[in-house]
Every structure is written in C-alpha cells, then in structure tokens.
C-alpha cells in the first residue's frame, strides 16, 4: 500500500479560529480565541482543565458553535456547517468502537454510510489497518483487542474518509504509560508521513512537547502563547506558560529599572516586569548552578537520581528551596547535608509577581 493511496497529501488544510467566544451560563469557555493551524502541521492545544481547549476542538469538529467569531478551513467559513459535512476525522479519548463489528467493519463504517461500494470500502479498510500495524487483526472484535490496538482502529477509522483535518481529543489518556509512549510515536510518524493537518488536545505537557510542531498554551479561554516546543520551554512568553510547561523554581528577588537582584547577583529582566519591587524570579532547574562549598550557607536537603542527571533540592539561608538538575558526575559528593553555593548564569531572567 502507498500512503498517497490511503490519504492524498493535497488534503492538508489551513485552519483558522478568528475571535471565537463561547459562554456556558456564567462560564466563559473561549474568550476571543485567535489561532491558525498551518497546512500539514500537528498543533497541540495544551492547558489545564477548563481552559477551553476541548471547546475549540469541538467547534472545529462542528459539535459546538461559537457565540461570536468564525472557524475557517482553507479560507471557507465553516462556523455553521453541520459536523457531518466538515470533512474532519476525529479520535476521542474513549475509543467509541462498535462492539458488534470487527476491526475491518469499524474502519469501513463511515464509508458504508457514504454508500461506497463494498469492495472499495473493504480494500481501503484493509489498507488503513495495515498502515496502523493491524493488518493481521482485521477480523478481531474490540473485546479481542488491547486498548492500544483499539485506539489504532479508531485512528484508522478517522482516516478512512480521507479528511482534510484530523482531530485528536486526548486519545492517549486512557492508556498505560508504556503504550502511550509507543502510540504517540506512531501517531506522530503517521501524521508526518501523511502530511495531514492535525489538532491535538492534551493536558499532558510531555505529550504536547514531544509530538507537536507547535504548542498553543491556553488559560481561561485565552491563548497565552503558541510556539515550537523548544521556544515554548526555553523562552516562555508569560509566567503562566513558564510554570505550566516543565518545572520552574521561584526565587525571591528585588526589581529596579529592568534589573533584578537575586542570589546576590544582578541580572537583566527578560520581558515585562511587575510594578512592585519585590518579585519572584523564574528559573529552570537545569539553569541553577550548584558548587560544593563547606562554608556556604545553603544546604542540600535531598537528591533524586534521574538517569543522566541528578536533581538536588537545596535549602537557602532564608529557607527557600531550590531544585537544580546537574549531570551525574557534577553531582558526585553533593549528598544530603552538604554545604553548597548556588548561582545563576549571567543572562536575562523572567520575573513574576511575588506569591507570598
């Protein structure tokens, strides 16, 4: 089977959300969302529960309609187009397979509804099951398949109608960790090979960063930042993004005219700073520098072996605890109780309002 036969590459579409607003009673689910999904990219919508990411996905699918704003696919306004005419394939968190149908018949179901001839729909179903690694499971029923295999069937079914857009609504959350890791790699490989525009909703930052071309972080119905994973992690646009994506330390500092004093150092501020003088400095654990110092007033209170790195928890003289990720050989001898000196690289830092 060829990939072009399964799903032509010219199906890659541009998706645009323009000023989407949706209220459910007193709750604002989307508050003026503007976002573009580029042709052929996998864009992850990431955020805490209630941030509006699933509402946005459902609006693209046609299951929800905005109070205001538009949804465009290749420049065409589909805001009020019924779901069955959206030309979108969707994979849900629950597999939603028909228990009385075989894997092949589940994949072929949508084709049957569209009156595709029996021979053609069976051939396409076989091709797609082979594409997702289940060519030898065509006759199995859902109860005879593992959770990961059922989700592969659901993915093949979503692709059977050759949609312009693929929508994934937390499709891996019901699977165990090992299966999630394998399946997310397979989904990403398949998406790249097919070149299909994909919107992927998740609350799992590791999934988003490892799978997506770009990640859109949402909060309270608004877009906080949309960027490639490396930029999102390394240069977060807001304190919320900084703390939601990855692990972040908050260190007390004092801000004056674009410079912050922290750990006895003076560092430039990256971006905007709160008006207050007393601020928190946001620093990744891997950016924290720790050196042995028997006379230092900071102490290691815990260590955790993470493979290539060791995470130290260090208590400063004022009681603040700092997490630092060091390479294993750098952490040698830095056991609980050891005196240390903590510092930061001479580069701009992100600051936020003091939390306490």
Q: Which residues contact 126 (CB under 8 A, 6 or more apart)?
A: 104, 135, 138
The CATH number for 10's domain is: 3.40.50.300
Model pLDDT, residue 8: 47
Domain that holds residue 347: 247-353
Q: What is the pLDDT of residues 265-312, one digit of tens each?
A: 999 998 888 888 999 999 999 999 999 998 888 999 999 998 889 999
Looking at the structure, do residues 172 and 301 belong to the same domain, yes or no?
no
Interaxial angle between packed helices 103-113 and 147-160, expressed in degrees from 0 to 180 and rounded to the nearest 10: 20
Looking at the structure, do residues 279 and 204 belong to the same domain, yes or no?
no
| Domain tally, the chain | 2
In a domain, 47, yes or no: yes
Looking at the structure, do residues 301 and 153 belong to the same domain, yes or no?
no
In a domain, 242, yes or no: no
CA distances from 318 to 142, 165, 256, 289, 303 (A): 58, 53, 21, 18, 20
CA distances from 160 to 112, 199, 210 (A): 11, 17, 26
- Helix H, strand E, coil C: the string for the chain is CCHHHHCCHHHCCCEEEEEEEEEECCEEEEEEEEEEECCCCEEEEECCCCCCHHHHHHHHHCCCCCCEEEEEECCEECCCCCHHHCCEEEECCCCCCCCCCCHHHHHHHHHHHCCCCHHHHHHHHHHHHHHCCCCCCCCCCHHHCCHHHHHHHHHHHHHHCCCCEEEEECCCCCCCHHHHHHHHHHHHHHHHHHCCEEEEEECCHHHHHHHCCEEEEEECCEEEEEECHHHHHHCCCCHHHHHHCCCCEEEEEEEECCEEEECCEEEEECCCCCCCCEEEEEECHHHCEEEECCCCCEEEEEEEECCCEEEEEEECCCCCEEEEEEECCCCCCCCCCCEEEEECCCCCEEEEECCC
The CATH number for 276's domain is: 2.40.50.140
Enter the tokens of residue 46: 């990431």
Query: What are residue 106's phi and psi, to 5 degrees?
Result: -65, -45
Query: Which residue matches tokens 């009673």?
Result: 25
Looking at the structure, do residues 232 and 254 belong to the same domain, yes or no?
no
Query: What are residue 58's phi and psi, to 5 degrees?
Result: -65, -30
Contact (CB, 8 A) for 74 and 164: yes
In a domain, 322, yes or no: yes
Looking at the structure, do residues 58 and 169 belong to the same domain, yes or no?
yes
As a whole number of angstroms, the distance between CA 138 and CA 144 comes to 11
As a whole number of angstroms, the distance between CA 61 and CA 78 comes to 10
Q: Are strands 42-46 and 214-219 parallel, antiparallel or unpaired?
A: parallel
Looking at the structure, do residues 265 and 195 belong to the same domain, yes or no?
no
In a domain, 37, yes or no: yes
* Nearest partner of 244 among 233, 228, 230, 235, judged by Cα: 233
Query: What is the chain's pLDDT, residue by residue, as a tens digit (356 residues)?
Result: 444 444 444 558 999 999 999 999 999 999 999 999 999 999 999 999 999 999 999 999 999 999 999 999 999 999 999 998 888 999 987 778 899 999 999 999 988 888 889 899 899 899 989 888 888 999 999 999 988 899 889 999 988 888 999 999 988 887 888 888 888 888 898 899 889 999 999 989 999 999 999 999 999 999 999 999 999 998 898 889 999 998 999 999 999 988 999 999 999 998 888 888 999 999 999 999 999 998 888 999 999 998 889 999 999 999 999 999 999 989 988 999 999 999 999 999 999 988 76
CA 344 from chain center: how many Å? 29
Model pLDDT, residue 183: 86
Model pLDDT, residue 356: 67
Angle (nearest 5°) at CA 250 between 240 and 33:
5
Enter the tokens of residue 332: 């040698």
Looking at the structure, do residues 305 and 225 belong to the same domain, yes or no?
no
In a domain, 277, yes or no: yes
């Amino acid at each position: 089977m060829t990939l072009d036969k399964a799903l032509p590459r010219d199906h890659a579409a541009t998706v645009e959300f323009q000023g989407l607003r949706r209220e459910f009673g007193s709750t604002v689910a989307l508050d003026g969302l503007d976002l573009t999904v580029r042709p052929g990219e996998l864009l992850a919508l990431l955020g805490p529960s209630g941030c509006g990411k699933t509402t946005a996905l459902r609006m693209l699918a046609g299951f929800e309609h905005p109070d205001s704003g538009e949804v465009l696919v290749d420049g065409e306004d589909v805001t009020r187009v019924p779901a069955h005419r959206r030309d979108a394939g969707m994979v849900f968190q629950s597999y939603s397979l028909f228990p009385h149908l075989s894997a092949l018949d589940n994949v072929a179901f949508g084709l049957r509804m569209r009156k595709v001839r029996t021979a053609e729909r069976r051939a396409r179903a076989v091709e797609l099951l082979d594409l997702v690694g289940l060519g030898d499971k065509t006759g199995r029923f859902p109860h005879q398949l593992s959770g990961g295999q059922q989700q592969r069937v659901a993915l093949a079914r979503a692709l059977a109608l050759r949609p312009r857009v693929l929508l994934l609504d937390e499709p891996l959350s019901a699977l165990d960790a090992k299966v999630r890791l394998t399946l997310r790699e397979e989904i990403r490989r398949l998406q790249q090979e097919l070149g299909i525009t994909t919107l992927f909703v998740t609350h799992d930052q590791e999934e988003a960063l490892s799978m997506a071309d770009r990640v859109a972080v949402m909060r309270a119905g608004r877009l906080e930042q949309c960027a490639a994973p490396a930029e999102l992690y390394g240069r977060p646009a807001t304190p919320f993004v900084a703390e939601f994506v990855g692990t972040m330390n908050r260190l007390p500092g004092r801000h004056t005219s674009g410079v912050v004093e922290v750990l006895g150092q003076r560092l430039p501020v990256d971006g905007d700073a709160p008006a207050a003088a007393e601020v928190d400095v946001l620093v990744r654990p891997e950016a924290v520098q720790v050196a042995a110092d028997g006379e230092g007033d900071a102490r290691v209170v815990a260590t955790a072996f993470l493979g290539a790195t060791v995470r130290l928890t260090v208590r400063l003289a004022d009681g603040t605890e700092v997490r630092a990720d060091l390479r294993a050989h750098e952490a040698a001898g830095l056991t609980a109780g050891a005196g240390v000196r903590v510092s930061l690289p001479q580069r701009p830092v992100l600051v936020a309002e003091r939390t306490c």
